[in-house]
Amino acid sequence: MKKKELFLLASICLFNYSTSKAKEKPNIVLLIADDVSFDDFGCYGNKIVKTPNINRLAIEGMRFNNAFLVTSSSSPSRCSMITGRYPHSTGAAELHTPLPETEIPFPLLLKQNNYYTAQAGKWHMGPSVYRAFDRYTDNNGDDNGDGGELNWVRFLKERKQDKPFFLWLASHDAHRPWGADNFFISHDPNAVYVPLYFANTPETRSDIASYYNEIARFDYYVGEVRKELERQGVFENTIMIIMADNGRPFPRCKTRVYDSGMKTPFIVSWPRGIKHKGSVSNSLISSIDIAPTLLELAGVEITNNIQGLSFSAILENPSNEIRKVIYAEHNWHDYEAYERMVRTKEYLYVFNGRANLSNGGPADSKISSTQKSLNMVRDKGLLTAAQADIFITPRPAEEFYDLSKDSLQIINVASLPLYQKELTEFRKLFKSWQQKTGDTMPENLTKDWFDRETGEPLKNKNMRGTMPGK
């Protein structure tokens, strides 16, 4: 064969190989931590917590600085992620309410389009979601391990090899009670960072150190998943997303609509798809944007019931914007609640529909040593304004925060004349979103199941009221 013919044949083969690679659908691995706030990974500025594997993925991929959940409550958050819909729109707005069968989990759409789908670890979405996965661990006799990560690598190894795959890998880390204090990675209580709304006591520091230990265990298994993807030779074309379902399980964090509860770490690794390695995006994204984004990247039609927006354009260019406003909600989670949040990069607006009630966090946080330390400071009459937040009753009906001056949302400026124009605009945004998405505020919301001071169960535990939404 002549050189010219050989060159032509090689060119055709190279073209066909490149074309097949371009058409190859990406694999997807979604890794969800349990109860972790955005600033508790090393790549987000925490210099004490040990997260080398997540940090490495952030350095090689893309880190999002403005990723938000639609609720800081575990099962409603997961149900929203898997449907791309707000909690009050899913029929599963409250903690421990299963997703109705009428809702469509996006992994089901992937499965129907030749993806192998598997779930390992924490479930918390109800039995109707089983149909979305070829394999899952809920009630199937699989030992997930204390942190929920034990089957992650095993399921990856045992996947079908002839299909692209989607893995929903969910941990119990860092949910109370603590279980990683005997894990081989530990943290010194004297070195931890204590937020200003906690009481800086030895008990609080020990509590935070145990929380860091759980995060470190989650990070370890993230690293093990990466190693297995590399061993199989599929890491380059696998989208890995690392995030959390809600904020840290501490006072003023979990369940709350402030950034300490609603802002999530969000790292995307995709060597073949992300051109700007180590890039940082300050663009706003919501957890309901995950579903449409992954469907688009997998070449699957985005159904019209999805309320989120695809952020695939941000993966191409981190400065691209897909939304100007974030909306979130706080419904029943151990305690009666109706709280709504509207957030831009500049301001955060809060509507308290149960302003007569305190907003102290979930029951597992109520019995923590961090909470007990705050109780001691309160009883001595020494609380700071930031520490007093969880005890305030009645609460303001509205809160407004200037994020350029108050990133922690400590100083409510809703009553200041300087902000009345902006406050009016955010009220309109809130009302418009309620009408557009069918949000409601029933009179008979689910009441408290636990004592607001002690966290102990009440006699009316397990009695449900009416959930928000049409």
**How would DSSP label each residue in 189-244?**
GGGS---TTS---HHHHHHHHHHHHHHHHHHHHHHHHHHHHHHTT-GGGEEEEEEE
C-alpha span between 426 and 376 (Å, rounded): 37
Confidence of residue 399 (pLDDT cuts 50, 70, 90): very high
* Encoded tokens for 14: 């190279």
**Model pLDDT, residue 141:** 77
Confidence of residue 10 (pLDDT cuts 50, 70, 90): very low
Confidence of residue 5 (pLDDT cuts 50, 70, 90): low
The three-class DSSP label of residue 421 is: helix
Q: What is the DSSP string of 33-97?
A: ESS--GGGSGGGT-SSS--HHHHHHHHHSEEESSEE-S-SSHHHHHHHHHHTS-HHHHT--STTP
Residue 258 predicted with pLDDT over 70: yes
C-alpha span between 253 and 246 (Å, rounded): 9
Q: Are 404 and 426 in contact (CB under 8 A)?
A: no
Signed CA dihedral, 32, 38, 42, 44: sign only: positive
C-alpha span between 467 and 203 (Å, rounded): 37
Superfamily of domain 24-319: Alkaline Phosphatase, subunit A (3.40.720.10)
Q: What's the mean pLDDT in 331-339?
A: 98
429: left (phi over 0), alpha (psi -120 to 50) or beta: alpha
Confidence of residue 13 (pLDDT cuts 50, 70, 90): very low
pLDDT > 70: percent of the chain? 95
Residue 149 predicted with pLDDT over 60: yes
Confidence of residue 142 (pLDDT cuts 50, 70, 90): confident
For the chain, give every residue range classified as CATH 3.30.1120: 329-437
252: left (phi over 0), alpha (psi -120 to 50) or beta: left
pLDDT, averaged across the chain: 95
Q: Are 222 and 241 in contact (CB under 8 A)?
A: no
239: left (phi over 0), alpha (psi -120 to 50) or beta: beta
C-alpha span between 86 and 68 (Å, rounded): 12
**Model pLDDT, residue 315:** 98
pTM as predicted: 0.94
The angle subtended at Cα 401 by Cα 399 and Cα 407, nearest 5°, is 135
Q: What's the mean pLDDT in 366-384?
A: 98
* Encoded tokens for 63: 């880190």
Residue 182 predicted with pLDDT over 80: yes
Residue 6 predicted with pLDDT over 70: no
Residue 39 predicted with pLDDT over 90: yes
Residue 12 predicted with pLDDT over 50: no
Spatial CA neighbour of 436 closest among 339, 338, 327? 327
Q: What's the mean pLDDT in 138-142?
A: 82
Dihedrals φ, ψ of 402, to 5°?
-90, 105
Spatial CA neighbour of 87 closest among 331, 262, 295, 260? 331
* Encoded tokens for 110: 């992937």
pLDDT tens readout for residues 199-212: 999 999 999 999 99
Residue length of the chain: 470
Cα of 121 vs its chain's centroid, Å: 15
Q: Are strands 326-330 and 339-343 parallel, antiparallel or unpaired?
A: antiparallel
Question: Distance between terminal CA atoms of the chain?
Answer: 72
Enumerate residues 6+ apart whose C-beta is below 8 A from 257. 72, 328, 329, 330, 339, 340, 341, 350
Top CATH class of 329-437 equals alpha beta
Q: Of residues 22 and 382, which shows the higher confidence score?
A: 382
Give the type of residue at 304: N
pLDDT tens readout for residues 170-180: 999 999 999 99
For the chain, give every residue range classified as CATH 3.40.720.10: 24-319
Q: What's the mean pLDDT in 173-189?
A: 97
pLDDT tens readout for residues 356-373: 999 999 999 999 999 999
C-alpha span between 194 and 208 (Å, rounded): 8
Residue 58 predicted with pLDDT over 90: yes
